[in-house]
Structure 1
Amino acid sequence: MPTDCISYQNSGYFSPLMNDYLDQKSNLQPLYSKFPSIENFENQIFNKKNNFDHSSRKNLVTVLQKQYLNVETSHFTQQNIKALLVDNTFTVTTGHQLNLFTGPLYFLYKIISAINLTNELKVKYPESNFVPIYWMATEDHDFEEINYFNFKGRKFRWNKDSSGPVGRLSTAGLEDLFEVFSVELGSSTNALALKKLFEEAYLNNNNLADATRYLANVLFGSYGLVIIDADNSDLKSSFIPYMKEELLNQSSYKLVVETAEKLKGYTIQVNPREINLFYIEDNLRERIIFEDELYKVNNTKIEFTKIEILDLLKNFPEKFSPNVIMRPLYQEVILPNLCYIGGGGEIAYWLELKSFFDASNITFPILLLRNSALLATQKQEKKADKLSLLWIDLFSKQEELLNRKTKELSDFSIDLINLKEQLMHQFETLYDVASQTDKDFMGAVKAQEIKQNKGLENLEKRLLRAQKRKLADVLQRIIDLQNELFPNQSLQERQANFSEFYLENGENLIPMIVEKLKPLENQFDIITF
């Protein structure tokens, strides 16, 4: 069976920025505080403990207890919420959109990364408590990004109009989608469990935030996961001074732009606005713009003077919503957080923020790239073994993989390297002769060399195509296997929904993944079942 390990850097699926971050390249080191290693958390704990407003813990716990009021909560989660009152309790946080029925697989991997890291920290630093947090992105308003999930190559989409924060969106209308999905699931024991989970999450809760909390709590409550909805007036009251600074001085813009300059050569993940706050209501989330000495809500007629908007902020902080630049600061202000776990795109925009955090006097968290994994059946593993494929082979681009395997399986060399070398030596002799005559002849030799090399290259390509036809059967089996594991020639974790694997594994699915993922190893995990 294939037994090779695959680093994120060698998988071919991570950006140059993430590869350089994981390699701890010196040009990026000023953009983060500490690289994620178990030893570096000692200093992070010290810094956060001495630079956190512990008086805000009571407010945090009160809000969480209210949010869990109608949720059947595990004893472990209840303990973790209460532990947040204590000064030696810290959090590890991951965040994600409210994707329908969890969306792609990596929703699970993010949360499991947070859970497993808190367990590792507790072993290393037993004098402290560590709580895994799932921060629900309830204030996002891009409904088109979250209103579907894929199941066995079929897309299940929730067709509904939405313009405000998705967490407040009514779940009315999901009955029709549930009926269609139920038929597709079948009637096995695990299928019935999935139907019940979908029904209780989405048909028995009134809005998307409550539905997602219910779902995540069922899946991970036994591990002590704490789920937070920060679209909350009491939580935002702690963030008023920072939102006031943003409204009056727009300090984040300059600092983030300066940092983005240091990332030239990489793809910039986000660009800051002059004011990085939205105005928010049930059916509205629009940017706040400062124009003509007035604060205006984009695409509306709503506007405020400076005095009016500061008064609104003081009395109704829930009407202000941080964007992608301000949200991380909000998170770190209200949580005693040590580490943020995110995907490559998230870590990329966090790397733009350290100078903004420093200016705000808020401790910058350790940034950890979430676990990535490939789920494979034992049957697929045996197929790979029979085809003499390593896992790293299957991570290759399909055309590259087929070319490489064709050359490996051929009884003779498809690379005409020997002929190319002979040709090179022949033209070296011709160039010696040409150098002794006029320059026109030298040009003719050069043209002929190009023509002859091109001819050999064309023959090489034709030979490769001929061998592919000869080996069509085995190459098709390779294609089929790779397409099973990498749907749409993309990472499985970005395409498939957990329900597809729950059908086969049932309640064993999440414990199996929890056992395998090691958040600090920076290694692509292959999990066979």
Structure 2
Amino acid sequence: MKTTQIPFQKTGFFSKTMHDYLEKNKNIQPFYNNFPDISGFHNQIEEKQKSYRLQTRLALVDALKNQYISFETSEKTIENIELIKQQNTFTITTGHQLNLFTGPLYFLYKIISAINLSEELSEKFPEQHFIPIYWMATEDHDFDEINYFNFDGKKVSWNRKDGGAVGRFSTEGLQEVFKVFSNHLGNSKNAKYLKELFSDGYLKHNNLADATRFIANKLFGEFGLVIIDGDDANLKQLFNPFVKEELENQTSFKEVSNTILELEKNYPIQVNPREINLFYLGDDFRERILLEDNIYKVNNTNITFSKAEILAEVDENPKAFSPNVIMRPLFQEVILPNLCYIGGGGEMAYWFELKAYFEKVYIPFPVLLLRNSVQVVSVKQSKKLENLKISQEELFLNQYDLLSKKVIDNSEIKTNFSQKIEFLQNQFSDLKEVAKKTDVSFINAVNAQERKQIKGLESLEKRLLKAEKRRQRDLVDRITLLQNELLPNQSLEERQRNFSEYYLEYGSSFIEALKGALKPLQLEFTLLEL
């Protein structure tokens, strides 16, 4: 195994928002609290310790024990749950949807980032305990985003009627998905493990939340991962004061809207708040709560409440109130002794909208950490990159740009069109000085001629490049094939592939390799040669 890190900024797959965050640009600084470094975690520990109550710890431990009651649990996970009772124990959290069979590869990277960061902080702060948490997004209702995974370029899908929180979905119908997936796997030792993991997860559990807990627990339980389901009446009861505050005052809408006015001066906005950022959750529906003429209405239903009735409903039926993307982060930070949230670039972008809201309701805003990203490269692929003289950073170039660069580098014709265009611009610069002494029409004519000649040179450059690509067809084909293998659909493979492709080849050593390679606080992209 060989690992190399390169800056996230060099891959071309991360936004300006993330670049500025990683570089601590002054424009993004007002929108986060402590930065993900050792100094930042020292400050975060002090903030969280002052605000998080022992009563909440004990309620959280009881809820977690109840959630794990019918699951085989590792000693490390049991120990970690017990440690939460202690006031020097803190959590490192990542979250993800309940994608079929974990969905894209980065599901693994998120969780391993949380595990590795917990271990690193335990070394840096030996008087504290740090527990990795996977927050299952059981209350999501966007089934189209989770009902498939990709395997060997094929889409393995689960088709069923949509409706309600996905964690409550019955696993009925996944027998057919299992048959399709099994046919792709073969009969190797690793294939048998994957078949068993899928069948034990989905065919022996009644709902998607339990199935996902089983699979994540099988993959990561030995590292002490604690899996939490927020769709829990006892946990939601802890959040009741914030639910009532939202229903009465709509604070999240006000605070997030004000933040967006400042944030959008430099960055795109990820999500926009609604007047009330709560859903009402039933067995087969999850609908927005609307406030119209002092009546609370559940969208697309006949359910209505007066103010007194809905506040009473919060107390009597806390599980019915489901936070949306704006309030879910607050729910997490209220019920967990959490220091850090680990997520992808899109997740970080909407968290930046929330800091003022957290401050308004007196909850510490967590450290935000961009999750580890990985490009897996086989020894054979690495050798091909070397033979084609493609550097690790060049691998991530747009394919047109990569091919153009390599064809030019390999060409016997050595001509630099950039230099020729620069020379031409210098010539016209002198001519423009002469033109200033005449009239406007002559200046316009000079500018037009400059544009025409530069355009002509650019056209010639494209024609020469096209001719060279035809002449070097073998090189073009080899580069195209290799980059397409590594970056399917010209995207990071972690967004396209499922872990089962690599597990089929490498078995448990794949997870062990990731565990050894990922360094969350290095804040760099990882290339992993296997």
What TM-score does the superposition give when structure 2 sets the normalisation length?
0.96
Moved more, 12-21 or 220-229: 12-21
Q: CA deviation at 1:2?
A: 10
Q: Return closer, same or farther for 1:498/1:440 CA change in 2, 3 Å cut-off.
A: closer
- Distance in 2 between the 1:341 and 1:417 partners? 43
Contact kept? 2:4, 2:526, Cα under 8 Å: no
For residue 66 of structure 1, what is the amino acid of its counterpart? N
Report Cα offsets for 1:470-522 as digits up to 9, x if no partner. 11111211111110110000010000000000011101111110100000111
For residue 180 of structure 1, what is the amino acid of its counterpart? V
- 2:453 maps to which residue? 452
Say yes or no: does 1:91 pair with 2:79.
no
For 1:211-226, what aligned pairs fall within 5 Å after superposition?
Answer: 211-226=211-226
- 1:508 maps to which residue? 509
Q: Return closer, same or farther for 1:419/1:43 CA change in 2, 3 Å cut-off.
A: closer
- 2:282 maps to which residue? 281
What TM-score does the superposition give when structure 1 sets the normalisation length?
0.96
Q: CA deviation at 1:445?
A: 5.1
Q: SS at 2:319's partner residue?
A: helix
- Distance in 1 between the 2:57 and 2:490 partners? 46
| Identical aligned residues as a percent | 56
For residue 260 of structure 1, what is the amino acid of its counterpart? I
Q: CA deviation at 1:456?
A: 2.2
- 1:147 maps to which residue? 147
Q: Return closer, same or farther for 1:256/1:412 CA change in 2, 3 Å cut-off.
A: same
Q: CA deviation at 1:26?
A: 1.2
Q: CA deviation at 1:41?
A: 1.2
- 2:335 maps to which residue? 334
Moved more, 286-295 or 258-267: 258-267
Q: CA deviation at 1:460?
A: 1.4
Say yes or no: does 1:166 pair with 2:166.
yes
Contact kept? 1:414, 1:460, Cα under 8 Å: no
For residue 507 of structure 1, what is the amino acid of its counterpart? S
- Distance in 2 between the 1:406 and 1:2 partners? 29
- Distance in 1 between the 2:13 and 2:250 partners? 36
Report Cα offsets for 1:177-203 as digits up to 9, x if no partner. 110110011111111110000000001
Q: Return closer, same or farther for 1:282/1:450 CA change in 2, 3 Å cut-off.
A: same
- 1:482 maps to which residue? 483
Contact kept? 1:414, 1:463, Cα under 8 Å: no
Q: Return closer, same or farther for 1:404/1:242 CA change in 2, 3 Å cut-off.
A: same
Q: CA deviation at 1:442?
A: 5.9
Report how many residues are paired: 529
Q: SS at 2:393's partner residue?
A: helix
- 1:104 maps to which residue? 104
Q: Return closer, same or farther for 1:410/1:46 CA change in 2, 3 Å cut-off.
A: same
Report Cα offsets for 1:37-73 as digits up to 9, x if no partner. 0232112111111111221111111111111111111
Moved more, 328-337 or 38-47: 38-47
Q: Return closer, same or farther for 1:190/1:238 CA change in 2, 3 Å cut-off.
A: same
Output the aligned Cα RMSD: 1.9
- Distance in 2 between the 1:41 and 1:2 partners? 29
Q: CA deviation at 1:451?
A: 3.2
For 1:281-300, what aligned pairs fall within 5 Å after superposition?
Answer: 281-300=282-301
Q: CA deviation at 1:449?
A: 4.0
Q: Return closer, same or farther for 1:421/1:343 CA change in 2, 3 Å cut-off.
A: closer
- 1:397 maps to which residue? 398
Q: SS at 1:287's partner residue?
A: strand
For residue 382 of structure 1, what is the amino acid of its counterpart? K
- 1:302 maps to which residue? 303
- 2:197 maps to which residue? 197
Q: CA deviation at 1:454?
A: 2.6
For 1:236-385, what aligned pairs fall within 5 Å after superposition?
Answer: 236-264=236-264, 265-385=266-386
Q: SS at 2:273's partner residue?
A: coil
Contact kept? 1:2, 1:384, Cα under 8 Å: no
Contact kept? 1:406, 1:468, Cα under 8 Å: yes
Contact kept? 2:3, 2:529, Cα under 8 Å: no
For residue 43 of structure 2, what is the amino acid of its counterpart? N
For residue 330 of structure 1, what is the amino acid of its counterpart? F
- Distance in 2 between the 1:428 and 1:65 partners? 76
Q: CA deviation at 1:453?
A: 3.0
- Distance in 2 between the 1:437 and 1:76 partners? 84
Q: CA deviation at 1:450?
A: 3.6
Report Cα offsets for 1:422-466 as digits up to 9, x if no partner. 655665676677778777666555544443333222211111111
Contact kept? 2:56, 2:238, Cα under 8 Å: yes
Report Cα offsets for 1:285-344 as digits up to 9, x if no partner. 000001121100001111011111111111110110011111111111110001111111
Q: SS at 2:414's partner residue?
A: coil
- Distance in 2 between the 1:368 and 1:155 partners? 31
Q: SS at 1:290's partner residue?
A: strand
Contact kept? 1:414, 1:464, Cα under 8 Å: no
For residue 176 of structure 2, what is the amino acid of its counterpart? D
- Distance in 1 between the 2:477 and 2:365 partners? 50
- Distance in 1 between the 2:232 and 2:28 partners? 35
Structure 1 unaligned spans of 5+? none
- 2:59 maps to which residue? 59
Report Cα offsets for 1:245-286 as digits up to 9, x if no partner. 000111111000011111113110111111111000110100
- 1:20 maps to which residue? 20
- 2:181 maps to which residue? 181
Q: SS at 1:272's partner residue?
A: coil
Q: CA deviation at 1:170?
A: 0.1
Contact kept? 2:3, 2:526, Cα under 8 Å: no
- Distance in 2 between the 1:462 and 1:274 partners? 56
For residue 113 of structure 2, what is the amino acid of its counterpart? S
Q: CA deviation at 1:417?
A: 4.4
- Distance in 2 between the 1:189 and 1:35 partners? 44
Q: Return closer, same or farther for 1:436/1:302 CA change in 2, 3 Å cut-off.
A: closer
- 1:138 maps to which residue? 138
For 1:45-84, what aligned pairs fall within 5 Å after superposition?
Answer: 45-84=45-84
Q: Return closer, same or farther for 1:71/1:463 CA change in 2, 3 Å cut-off.
A: same
Report Cα offsets for 1:57-98 as digits up to 9, x if no partner. 111111111111111111000100111111111100000000
- Distance in 2 between the 1:446 and 1:30 partners? 44
Contact kept? 1:140, 1:165, Cα under 8 Å: yes
- Distance in 1 between the 2:224 and 2:165 partners? 27
Report Cα offsets for 1:124-177 as digits up to 9, x if no partner. 111111100000000000000000000011111100112100000000000011
Q: SS at 1:179's partner residue?
A: helix
Contact kept? 1:4, 1:390, Cα under 8 Å: no
Moved more, 355-364 or 413-422: 413-422
Q: Return closer, same or farther for 1:282/1:463 CA change in 2, 3 Å cut-off.
A: same
Q: SS at 1:391's partner residue?
A: coil
For residue 374 of structure 1, what is the amino acid of its counterpart? Q
Q: Return closer, same or farther for 1:427/1:23 CA change in 2, 3 Å cut-off.
A: closer
Contact kept? 2:21, 2:28, Cα under 8 Å: yes
For residue 268 of structure 1, what is the amino acid of its counterpart? I
Contact kept? 1:83, 1:129, Cα under 8 Å: yes
Q: CA deviation at 1:363?
A: 1.0
For residue 482 of structure 1, what is the amino acid of its counterpart? Q
Q: Return closer, same or farther for 1:416/1:54 CA change in 2, 3 Å cut-off.
A: same
